[in-house]
Amino acid sequence: MVMKRFLALVFLVFLFSVQSLSVFGIQRFPKPEFESGYIQPETLMPAPRAEMLALLDIAVLILSLSVVTWLVLKKRSRKGVFWMSLFSLAYFGFYREGCICSIGSIQNVTLALFDTSYVIPLTAIVFFIAPLVYTLFFGRTFCAGVCPFGALQDLVAFSPQKLGSRINAVLGVIPYIYLGLAVLYAATGTDFIICRYDPFVGIWRFNASFGMFVFGGLLLVTGIFIARPYCRFLCPYGVLLNWSSRFSRKHITITPAGCIQCRLCENSCPYDAIDIPATSKNPEDKRTMGRKLIFITVLIPLLIFAGGWTGSKLHEPLAGVNAKVRLAKQILNPPKDTGKPETFEIQAFKSSGKPQKQVFDEASLVLKKFYLGGWILGGFIGLVFGGLIAGRIITRHHADYVPNKGNCFSCVRCVDYCPVK
C-alpha cells in the first residue's frame, strides 16, 4: 500500500514537472522568419535540450551500462547485448542525434579544464566519466552495447577479415594521435575536431554535408571487411577505455571455467582481440632480456624528446587552423589581387573595427599555447610509438586463449564458441 502511494506520488511529480516545461514554451518574442528558400548550415551540435530531458539521458546511459554489463558478465548473452546495442543505436544515435556522446565529451572536459569561462554541462561530465568507471571495473561493456557508433558498425560487419597483429598495432596508433590532436585543439579553444569529423552524425540527423555522408558511408563499407574500423583505428575515447579496461578485474572471459585449448574460439573475434596462448619453449636468457630492457629504457625517452621537439617545430602549422592565427596570417599576407572577394575572416575583421595589433597579440598568445602543446603532443606520440615498439619486442607469456583486455569490446561473440559450459 505504502509502495503504491509512493509510486503514485512519483508519477504525479513527474507529470507536473513535464507540465511545467510548457511554461518555457510561451512565445515571448516571435523569431523572424528567415527560412524561405534558405539552406540552413549543418551545425556540430543539435538544439539545446531541456534540463529534465538531459537528466533522462543520464539515467538511460547508466541504466544501459548496467544492463549491458549484466548481460555480458552474468548472462554471457550475445543476443541480449545485440538487442541492447540496437536500443542504444535508436536512442543515443537516432533519437539523441549522436549528441552528447562519450567520444565527443573528451573535448568538453578538456575545454572545461583549460578554460574557466566554459561551463561544462552535467551530461558531458557523466557521459565522459560513467563509461570509464564501468570499464575500469567490468571491461569495455560500453563499447559492447551502449555506444551507437559501435552498434551501427556491428550491423554491417558481414565479412570481417583478420588483419594480423602487426597491422592492428600500426593502425592502432592512429586513435592516440587523434586523441592528442583533439585534446590540443579543445584545450586551445580552437575546434572540436571529434565532432567535426563524426562520421555518423549525418546518418543520425539526416542532414550532413554530402562529403560527410560519403565519409560515413565509406567507413561503413570498410566496416564490412574490417569490423568496427572507427572503434579500432580512429576512436579517441577508445584509447581511454583501452587503458581503463586493462585494469578491469571483472572482465569477460571466453570460458567460464578452465580453457581446454580446443581452439574453437581462435577465429571467433572479428576485432582480432583474442590473445592466443604464447608459451616459449626456449625462454630468453637474462642477458637478452637485459639488453631489450636497456634498449627500451633508452629508446622511449629519446622518442618522447624527438616527438616533443618535432611537435614544437610544427606548432605553427598546427596552430594554422585556429581562427585567430588564421586571421593574423591573412592580414600579414593578404592574397594577391585575383579578383576574388576577400575571405569571411577579413570581411568580418574589417567591419569589426578591431585594431590589427589586438589581432596579432591574440594570435601570438595562441601560438605560445601551441608551442607548449606541440611539445606535449609530440612527446605523447613519441611515447605511443615507444610503447608500440616495446610491445613488439617484449613477449608476454600466457597459456590460455584470453580476450585482450585493452582491445576487447566485450561483445560476447567468442563465448558462444566455447564448449565449456
* Footprint on this chain of other proteins (rule: CB under 8 A): 29-41, 159, 161, 163, 167, 171, 174, 193, 196-197, 199, 211, 215, 218-219, 221-222, 224-226, 229, 233-234, 317, 320-321, 326, 330, 340-345
Could you tell me the end-to-end alpha-carbon distance of the chain, in angstroms, rounded to an integer? 43
Neighbour count for residue 202 (Cβ, 10 Å): 21
Label the pairing between strands 402-403 and 274-275. Answer: antiparallel
Residue 155 to residues 10, 220, 238, 342, 409, Cα–Cα distance (Å): 38, 9, 19, 46, 15
Give the residue with the Cβ less far from other proteins, 70 or 225.
225
Task: Evaluate whether 202 touches 216 at the Cβ level (below 8 Å).
Answer: yes
Minimal distance, residue 183 CB to other proteins, in Å: 15
Instruction: Pick the closer one to other proteins by CB: 161 or 297.
Output: 161
**What string of DSSP letters covers 154-170?**
HHH-SS-----HHHHHH
Shortest Å, Cβ 30 to other proteins: 6
Cβ at position 199, least distance to other proteins in Å: 8
Report the nearest approach of other proteins to the CB of residue 89 (Å): 21
Nearer to other proteins, 310 or 343 (CB): 343
Q: Report in angstroms how near the CB of residue 61 gets to other proteins at its nearest.
A: 27
Give the rounded distance of the alpha carbon of 231 from its chain centre: 8
Question: Based on CB atoms, which residue is closest to other proteins, 211 or 258?
Answer: 211
Question: Are residues 390 and 300 in contact, defined by beta-carbon separation less than 8 angstroms?
Answer: yes
Q: Which is nearer to other proteins, 68 or 194 (CB)?
A: 194
Contacts of 366 (CB under 8 A, 6+ apart): 188, 190, 319, 322, 324, 325
Distance CA 23, CA 20 (A): 5
Smallest separation, CB 39 to other proteins (Å): 6
Minimum CB distance to other proteins, residue 161 (Å): 5
SS3 275: strand
CB closer to other proteins out of 12 and 321: 321
Grid cell of 305 as nine digits: 624528446
Cell reading at 315:
606548432
Give least dist CB 197 to other proteins, A.
5
Closer to other proteins by Cβ: residue 40 or 117: 40
Residues 6+ apart with CB under 8 A from 360: 328, 331
- SS3 state at 370: helix
Nearer CB in complex with other proteins: 31/396:
31
How far is the C-alpha of 55 from the C-alpha of 147, rounded, in Å? Answer: 18
